[in-house]
Amino acid sequence: MTELVTGTGGPVQTDPAAAKQGAEPSVARVSQWSDIRHRFFANKLAVVGLAIIVVLVLIALLAPVLAPFDPLKQDLNATLQSPGGKHLLGTDALGRDQLSRLIYGSRIAVIVGLASILLAVVIGVVLGAMSGYFGGWVDTVIMRVADIFFAFPLLIGAIVIILLMGRGVMPVVLSLGIFSWAVFARLLRSQILSVREMDYVHAAKALGASQGRIIRKHILPNSITSVMVYGTSNVGIAIVAEASLSYLGVGVEPQVAEWGNMISAGRGFMGVKDYMWTYPSIAIVVTALGFILFGNGLRDALDPKLR
């Protein structure tokens, strides 16, 4: 039989039998992660963003099942068919089914968006942690290198790398990741500059903890939140950048089912066959909006000032 006792520390569950044996009562508190989860799902826009991301990922995974046609198959007897009939979103100038290409295009979006931001986060976290914690000449060198990457617009820098490596998914991922790490490094550095002066960090140093352990166990866990939030929001930006590169003719190969390629193929039919560029444009906007809403919701849920 348990009793609920209210004390200064919040509600406490006591077990009379355990109390007789000298056992300490267990405090019933809501965990931090439960609070974060509750705050996140209370934000309706954040839930909408999460739903968009989940649907996008499911479409990408189930593309072979969902797509009614082969996205690369050409049917010259069914070119430029308007939406309707067996081609729900119409066909392009080569008779390829637009719906199938739209579905398969989600795969490129997910792969490039997540992989490029993950690469940028890894590079940015490593260099930003070193810069913020060690300071001195290490900080100066890393930040000056970051300034060089800041000087290059994302698309211009990505185009340079792709022209050197050739077109394809991997060059696009590498180019976007390499020219996106600097902002993550600077963001993490600013957080570490304040965290490294905290008492628990000085205590760890006094106890003889190694530099690597202090960074892994104390600095990064208390500084990484802003990087996570910014990275989540930037997945949508990476997807837009990838589609822009393909639209400009320097992204993935033109025959690949990809949203930027679809818009590029439809630009010659604007005002005549607007469905060719409208649907992939909507897909890009909705996808980017989903990641931005999810990132904003994550920021609000993790911000201790709003608790």
Q: Give CA angle at 124 (37, 301), nearest 5°.
A: 15
The pair phi, psi for residue 87, each rounded to 5°, is: -105, 90
Q: What is the pLDDT of residue 305?
A: 55
Per-residue pLDDT of the chain in tens (307 residues, 90 and over written 9): 444 444 444 444 444 444 444 444 444 345 777 888 888 999 999 999 999 999 999 999 999 999 999 999 999 999 999 998 899 999 999 999 999 999 999 999 999 999 999 999 999 999 998 898 888 899 999 999 999 998 888 899 999 999 899 899 999 999 999 999 999 999 999 888 878 777 777 787 788 888 777 877 777 777 788 888 899 989 999 999 999 999 999 999 989 999 999 999 999 899 889 999 999 999 999 999 999 999 999 988 886 555 5
User: What pTM does this model have?
Assistant: 0.83
How confident is the model at residue 12, as a pLDDT? 43
Q: In sequence order, which residues have a C-beta less than 8 Å from that of residue 259 and are 6 or more positions away?
A: 102, 105, 108, 109, 243, 246, 280, 281, 283, 284
Q: Domains in the chain and their CATH numbers? A: 1-30 (no CATH), 32-306 (1.10.3720.10)
- SS3 of 73, please? coil
DSSP label of 80: T
